[in-house]
Amino acid sequence: MSKLKIAIQKSGRLSEKSIKLLEECGIKFPNGGGKLITEATNFPIEILFLRDDDIPQYVEQQVADLGIIGENVLVESKKKINLVEKLGFSSCRLSLAVPKETQYESLEFFRNKRIATSYPNILSEYFQKLQIEVTIEVISGSVEIAPGIGLADGICDIVSSGSTLLSNGLKEVEKVLDSQAVLVANHDLEDSKKQILEKLLFRIQSVRKAKENKYILLNTPNSKLEKIKTILPGMNSPTILPLAKESWSSLHSVIREDKFWEVIDELKEAGAEGILVIPIEKMIV
Ligand code: ATP
Ligand code: MG
């Protein structure tokens, strides 16, 4: 039976979370010793450890069938590969920044200016659409020092908290692209590999749904049950069990974590007590 080859970043910001995602999907594989390729012991998949910039090309050329990369790398690469699933981790943005003392009013600022970046394709397309002429200085790392050493008037780089910009005397002025880790695939997978991908995707989605949802238990007087049921939009109908305490029940349901914070006060007001919120490991719906 053929195996699916997935390329993940060898060492960097995506590595740990990519490995964790595969592990959470129940895939076991020997990891460590600096190996470049390893085989899962309980799932038909091989894992290749590569530099993230090389992954789009390898996926396009079918050296790997799948890859986990940042959307920023996918868009910049211009390779013809499929975005299969957004993975919800390593969120960041590609932004334009200028020295913090610069008086910045609009994108017009950049007209005929020099911008240092490792993302020349994304950036040139961005300014082409705006019909603003710029000079792009391509550098592969430490982009944020470029204005300070007189190489450029501004930069375009990955930002998450903005603290790197700040410590280099820069301020973020425009967002060019939102990014997160994504699963990409060769667009011409053979059927047997597509089937393995479907299985993997099902597991990835179950893990993600589990993270977004919580199991909630609460106690309520029976008189308040109906009201509480309307506040709690569960997966389907909640489980209701009688408590030893006369005329009280325990209600169990599943709730989106973000919704939980919205309804917690409502629940308490409606008479809910002893509220417990418990993480879910896997969620199959
Ligand atoms: P490689 O050696 O594999 O080429 P790299 O130095 O290009 O690694 P990293 O810095 O490890 O890349 O970042 C990998 C990806 O993680 C980026 O392409 C981006 O999608 C994401 N990323 C980068 N910086 C951040 C950040 N500060 N916060 C969140 N995600 C980030
Ligand atoms: Mg890289």
**What ipTM does the predicted assembly reach?**
0.96
Residue type, 210: A
pLDDT for residue 284 = 87
Which pLDDT value is given to residue 63?
A: 97
Q: Is 31 helix (H, G, I), strand (E, B) or coil?
A: coil
CATH of 4-88+181-189, one of 3.40.1360.10, 3.40.190.10, 3.40.718.10, 3.90.1150.10: 3.40.190.10
User: If DSSP codes are grouped into helix, strand and coil, which group holds residue 112?
Assistant: coil
pLDDT at 234: 61
Task: Output DSSP code: residue 89.
Answer: -
- What is the band of 64 on the pLDDT scale with cuts at 50, 70, 90? very high
Distance CA 117, CA 144 (A): 9
pLDDT band at 34 (very low <50, low <70, confident <90, very high): confident
Q: Which tokens hold the place of 248?
A: 């009280």
Q: Is the CB of 176 under 6 A from ligand 1?
A: no
* pLDDT at site 235: 59
Residue 270 phi/psi, 5° resolution? -75, -5
Shortest-distance Cα residue to atom 12 of ligand 1: 12
pLDDT band of 133, cuts 50, 70, 90: very high
pLDDT tens, residue by residue, 182-209: 999 999 999 999 999 999 999 999 999 9
Q: What span, in angstroms and rounded, lies between the C-alpha atoms of 169 and 114?
A: 17
Average pLDDT, the chain: 95
- Gap from CA of 241 to ligand 1 centroid (Å): 49
For the stretch 245-270, pLDDT in tens is 999 999 999 998 888 888 888 999 99
Reading the block at residue 167, the tokens are 């410590």
Q: How is residue 193 written in tokens? A: 């590999």
Res 2 pLDDT > 90:
no
| Over residues 83-98, mean pLDDT | 97
Q: Assess whether the C-beta atom of 53 lies below 6 angstroms from ligand 1.
A: yes
Burial letters 99-134, b for 16+ CB under 10 A, else e: eeeeebeeeebbeeebbbbbbeebbeebbeeeeeeb
CA distance to 241, 272, 280, per residue, from 252 (Å): 8, 12, 13
Task: Read off the pLDDT of each residue in 37-52 and give the average, rounded to a whole number.
Answer: 97
Res. 33: pLDDT tops 80: no
Q: What is the band of 27 on the pLDDT scale with cuts at 50, 70, 90?
A: very high
Q: Would you list the domain boundaries of the chain?
A: 4-88+181-189, 92-179, 213-279
Bridge partner residues of 156 (DSSP): 96, 117
Residue owning the nearest CA to atom 1 of ligand 1: 51
Spatial contact of 228 and 186, defined as CB atoms under 8 Å apart: no
Average pLDDT over residues 88-107: 97
CB 201 within 8 A of CB 85: yes
pLDDT in tens, 167-176: 999 999 999 9
**In a 10 Å sphere around its CB, with 0-12 CB exposed, 13-18 middle and 19+ buried, how is residue 151 labelled?**
middle
- Nearest ligand to the C-alpha of residue 158? 1
Which atom of ligand 1 lies closest to the CA of 15? 11
Question: Is the pLDDT reported for residue 123 higher than 70?
Answer: yes
Asked whether this chain's domains 4-88+181-189 and 92-179 adopt the same fold, the reply is yes
Min mean pLDDT across 8-12, 19-23, 234-238 is at: 234-238
CATH of 92-179, picked from 3.40.980.10, 3.30.750.24, 3.50.50.60, 3.40.190.10, is 3.40.190.10
CA-only gyration radius of the chain, Å: 25
Sign of CA dihedral 217, 220, 225, 231: negative
Please work out whether the CB of residue 95 comes within 6 Å of at least one atom of ligand 1: no
Q: Where are the beta strands (DSSP E) in the chain?
A: 4-9, 37-39, 45-50, 66-70, 82-86, 92-99, 114-117, 135-138, 154-159, 170-179, 181-185, 213-221, 239-242, 248-256, 273-279
Question: What's the gap between Cα 200 and its chain centre?
Answer: 17
Ligand 1 in reach of 142 Cβ (< 6 A): no
CATH 3.40.50.720 fits 213-279, yes or no: no
- Report residue 243 as tokens: 């408590």
